Chain A
């Protein structure tokens, strides 16, 4: 198994180098430090959510509600701060807590009521987005204090702030998934939930924690998102789940669970962002790039299924 993983990641790394090379040849603006750092900034929110999504998909689940959680937290951040007059740091913490609760609700629906994750999170996708729309009445919140924009627009040691946050979270995620008992439990229950249960792994608790983390990190991403674009709107994060799932699956995580790594997800993210940026520089508009992402998502899974059949057979 590990040999397969290494091979998938090696293929991805080669692809990434190739893509970077081609893009650098295509446009002299691509391979500048400014552009790369800016791409890192744009990738950070998708990246953060993709870290948790890796756990979710490795555990043979899926979380379609992340984009809606992001929107809900963004709206509540604005409401807590502006309408309720809470200090902004408190509003930020409360926002992340709401994200975690939203994720916990997903987890409870999945573990307590045995609703398949796909359906549970499809329902909460509608519910959380609906709450964001209902609470905000489609009004945006602006006028955040200057210090708040450090998170999304500022730099620390020359590197965008949210990229630090992302790298820090990625390190933690890689260690937890790769080296901890919790990570092993995630693989075990993704490969075979019944076997995992019989081996004494606390399956339900693991699932609850994974979905809670997914909601929490979507809340965190909401805050950097609001800080980056300086405003709060209820449609924020629409379609985020597509980008995130594509990056994770592109990174070699099996959609059937039991297999995947954080390093793979990082490579998948980088490849996807490089493609988006390259297409944009080549003059393709935003809507054209989502066509490419859709194609990549389907093609990756077709190819990885064919490869896996070869390996198995």
Chain B
């Protein structure tokens, strides 16, 4: 009896921990980082730096929302960095060529949706592993972009184009995008039946099929949404500076995947929330800024990211083994 009681108590708390545990851990890490780095170097907490951290990295958080959907649905996308580079270049080029600003904003988002819906269709209907398709897409987009533009800088966009530089009540627009999209998607994933079905497909494809879902369509949907978020991320990225360097932002895909994974999206699919991925994107931005303020060479940043992913994945696997319920490994 005592044992049964203990098990029940443990499962009640562990259910709460399992539901949002990772999000709390990441939030705690952010707060701890602020306290510690702020104590070492007070300039870390200065307004300018905080704006830089939140606003300058909002596009990573937005892209990580889409990546979370893809990973939750049981897939992965290593081409998102190249896609954002391509879409940002499209946006800038349209703006420079004198198209109305709303066209320069909406075309990249549409292109992102179409490209990734095609990727999703290749994965779902031709049964090609997502890593292979997106590895191929990575080189197609990257190679295509660089050989088309030669990596030139795009300048002279009309002032109205720079949406990421707008401010409302002193807070930069990217922060609003990040917060609004995160909340919207968190609600959609939790309460909408389509949102739930992404978890179902990622958790167990055959069970989802047996209960009347169409895993192929949901895969295409997840990728199309991912394309939408990549498009928004590309806009924020393209409009935050006065120039767009028409190349692929280095390591962006890795940063986005890492944000999703560290935010608690299990790499095996089926679990995780977009709140976690956004918090994790903020955590990274804090870490890379903190490295500067702690006088650690920025060249160590990627090693830190790698260690973080590894630690999170190992913890995820350990947790799964403890709470093994479903058969899927």
Contacts and interface: CB of A to CB of B under 8 A. Distances in A.
A253 to B, nearest CB: 12
Contact of B313 (A115, A136, A292): A115
A56 to B, nearest CB: 13
Contact of A113 (B136, B268, B318): B318
B267 interface: yes
B136 A295 contact: yes
B302 A298 contact: no
Interface string A200-234: 00000000000000000000000000000000001
Contact of A123 (B76, B131, B310): B310
A109 interface: yes
Interface residues of B, number: 45
B126 interface: yes
B305 interface: yes
B147 A133 contact: no
Interface stretch (A30-38, A157-165, A281-289): A281-289
B299 A138 contact: yes
Contacts of B299: 133-134, 136-138, 234
B51 interface: no
B258 interface: yes
B135 to A, nearest CB: 6
B306 A126 contact: yes
A89 interface: no
A248 to B, nearest CB: 11
Contact of A127 (B76, B135, B306): B306
A302 B132 CA distance: 10
Given A123-B310, A133-B299, A293-B139, A287 B147 contact: yes
Contacts of A242: 135, 138-139
B294 interface: no
B136 A305 contact: no
Contacts of A125: 254, 306
13 contacts: A116-B267, A127-B309, A127-B310, A130-B301, A234-B299, A242-B135, A242-B138, A285-B147, A287-B146, A289-B143, A298-B137, A301-B128, A302-B128
